[in-house]
Amino acid sequence: MKTYVPEDGPLAPARGTSTEVGSGAGSIPPRIGLARLLLEGRGWTATRLGLDVLLLVLAVGAAFAAPPDEIGPDGQWVVWLLPPLVLGLFALRRMYSGELQVQVLEGLGTIVASTSLAAAGLIATAAFTHPSDDPASLVARAWLFATLYLTGGRVLLAWGQRRARVNKLIGKPTLIVGAGRIGAQVERRLREQPEWGLRPLGYLDDDPAPAEMVPGRQAPVLGAFNDLGRIVDESGARHVVLGFTSGPDTLLLPIVRECEVRGLEISLVPRLFESINVRIGLQHIGGLPLFGLRAVNPNGWQFAVKHGVGRVLAAIGLILLSPLLLAIAIAVRLSSPGPVIFAQRRIGRDGRDFHLYKFRSMRGQEAIPQDLLEDGLVSGTDTAPGGVEGDDRRTRVGSMIRAVSFDELPQLFNVLRGDMTLVGPRPERPEFVEMFGRSVYRYEDRHRVKSGITGWAQVNGLRGQTSLSDRIEWDNYYIENWSLGLDLKILLMTFVVLFNRAE
């Protein structure tokens, strides 16, 4: 087994040196020490709580600074109960828990719900205790300011923590138990997404697979399961991810117990993780936990509502965007000979084919170059098709509209026809569907739902010639965890992505 050697970088303390901030030679730089103090562990909890207290007090002060109301002193004191009530509701909703990553959009709903419930409770309380005073307008102003201030504060904190993690100012050294395919997938995800704040150091495994059998594994195998204590002491690991191992699960229980004794954080990749979604339910039969798997039903009424709303929005979008569509059509027609609209066969829900519409962006026919299939530029690799394939035949207008995805706008007609929906996995060409269906794990599962103009994989950067296996993983995650709220989140993220690309 390999002996642990710290990585170079700001998070790797030198052997035999002090790790206290400002302790002299070999000490942690002050900015890293400050980032760790404010953005990790208990300091992160204190930072969020302190900022929330400050913002709520400022919100109440701003409510009093607004044009005064004829409210007696007995009615004004009620509004000062807003900060402790909101903080209590935040604590009940686990807004100060140690989650791996702050989910800003999900947190906004909790903020609005908590401030609204607190404000409604105060107005009702004042109506019973001091009916002669009516502090409703004052409480409403405090509610509005509190909601805006807290939202801005959470966004700022999430951005600050994310930047600190990406720049390696903070991050928890992490050990992965199980050096097989799933462990390598965990390592790759943590390396690709440093904003989660977990830095993979290496693996623990009693019987690790050879490196050539796990090509995605980069970190070393540091030791066996019973080497956990030694490796933690040498590496300073603070987080352990339990993946799959070749041995029985009973071997993992001593690791969990030792992690608990040492105060290490533990994460677990569960069995059947492909079927686990946000709707999972936990019950107990005696001391035995029982998880209830609740799969999404693409034929249920929820998806009928989704498709109906999508058609209505597509019709509204076509009406509102008609001047833009007309301008693009004229520009495409004048750019080069050929049709304005390009129709291409794609595979959608349940393997049914349809013609997908786009504004033509290339000279000549926009078909798959035959050598792309024959030479294996897509087959035999993990690269998805898309983008510019073969020779670049884009027109000047085509390059412009593809840069901001305006060439996709005619797909609103596909949504209106029922071939597609607004949000879902992107449809693929029949040639590639047949190829990938034979070689890519769970590829066919993405055809359980209608294809979409935008999707979870696309807003997470997996568009064009990117990792095919990652795209399939994200597509199936979307299907397993689908909700109208997730669709709304994807639509909002789509506008953010388009805005950033247009800059």
Query: In Å, how far are 89, 91, 154, 161, 225 from 95, measured between CA atoms?
Result: 9, 6, 10, 15, 34
Spatial neighbors of 415 by CB under 8 A, at least 6 apart, are 310, 311, 313, 314, 421, 422, 453
Q: Both 320 and 466 in a single domain?
A: yes
Q: Of 119, 196, 107, give the one whose Cα is nearest residue 153.
A: 107
pLDDT higher for 378 or 313? 313
pLDDT higher for 267 or 67? 267
Q: Both 82 and 158 in a single domain?
A: yes
Instruction: Quickly state the pLDDT bin for 389 (edges 50, 70, 90).
Output: low
pLDDT at 177: 94
H-helix or E-strand spanning residue 221: strand 221-223
pLDDT at 406: 92
Q: Both 309 and 366 in a single domain?
A: yes
Which residue type, as a one-letter code, is found at position 389?
A: E
Spatial neighbors of 253 by CB under 8 A, at least 6 apart, are none
Q: Both 353 and 459 in a single domain?
A: yes
Instruction: Quickly state the pLDDT bin for 294 (edges 50, 70, 90).
Output: confident
- Are 57 and 45 a contacting pair, CB within 8 Å? no
Q: Both 81 and 116 in a single domain?
A: yes
Q: Both 265 and 403 in a single domain?
A: no
pLDDT at 438: 82
**Strands across the sheet with 198-204, in order?**
221-223, 198-204, 172-177, 239-242, 265-268
Q: Both 129 and 201 in a single domain?
A: no
| DSSP assignment letter at 231 | H
pLDDT for residue 233 is more than 50: yes
> Domain ends where: 107, 142, 166?
166
How do residues 176-229 score in pLDDT, each as one tens digit? 999 988 999 999 999 988 988 999 999 999 888 888 888 889 999 999 999 999
pLDDT at 313: 95
pLDDT at 331: 94
Both ends of the chain: CA-CA distance in Å? 49
pLDDT at 366: 52
pLDDT at 20: 36
pLDDT higher for 60 or 21? 60
pLDDT for residue 152 is more than 80: yes
Exposed/middle/buried for residue 350 (C-beta within 10 Å: 0-12, 13-18, 19+): exposed
- Per-chain mean pLDDT for the chain: 84
Q: Both 240 and 387 in a single domain?
A: no
pLDDT for residue 336 is more than 90: no
Domain coverage including residue 231: 172-269
Q: Of 176, 184, 246, give the one whose Cα is nearest residue 217.
A: 184
Query: In Å, how far are 35, 49, 140, 204, 458 from 42, measured between CA atoms?
Result: 12, 11, 33, 28, 35
Which structure tokens are listed for 152? 């801005």
CA atoms of 63 and 75, how far apart (whole Å): 14
Q: Of 155, 143, 172, give the one whose Cα is nearest residue 51.
A: 155
Q: Both 216 and 328 in a single domain?
A: no
Rg (Cα) of the chain, in Å, rounded? Answer: 27
Which residue type, as a one-letter code, is found at position 108?
A: L
Q: Both 197 and 220 in a single domain?
A: yes
**Residue 29 within a domain:** no
- Indicate the number of domains in the chain: 3
- Predicted TM-score (pTM) of this structure: 0.75
Q: Both 449 and 379 in a single domain?
A: yes
pLDDT at 497: 84
> Domain ends where: 166, 198, 216?
166
pLDDT for residue 29 is more than 80: no
CA atoms of 419 and 250, how far apart (whole Å): 49
- Are 196 and 172 a contacting pair, CB within 8 Å? no
Which structure tokens are listed for 145? 């300011």
Distance of CA 279 to the CA centre of its chain: 17
Query: Which residue spans within 360-482 are E strands per DSSP?
Result: 421-423, 452-454
Query: Which residue spans within 37-178 are E strands per DSSP?
Result: 172-177
Q: Both 131 and 241 in a single domain?
A: no
If one counts every other C-beta atom within 10 angstroms of the C-beta of residue 71, the result is 19
Spatial neighbors of 481 by CB under 8 A, at least 6 apart, are 277, 278, 279, 296
Query: Which residue spans within 141-192 are E strands per DSSP?
Result: 172-177
H-helix or E-strand spanning residue 92: helix 82-92
**Residue 425 within a domain:** yes
- Are 455 and 486 a contacting pair, CB within 8 Å? no
> Domain ends where: 120, 139, 166?
166
Query: In Å, how far are 406, 427, 448 from 498, measured between CA atoms?
Result: 10, 20, 27
CA atoms of 325 and 72, how far apart (whole Å): 59
pLDDT at 417: 94
For residues 353-376, give the mean pLDDT.
Answer: 70
Which structure tokens are listed for 403? 């840069």
At residue 243, the 3 state secondary structure works out as coil
Q: β-strand 452-454 against 421-423: which pairing, if any?
A: parallel
**Residue 389 within a domain:** yes
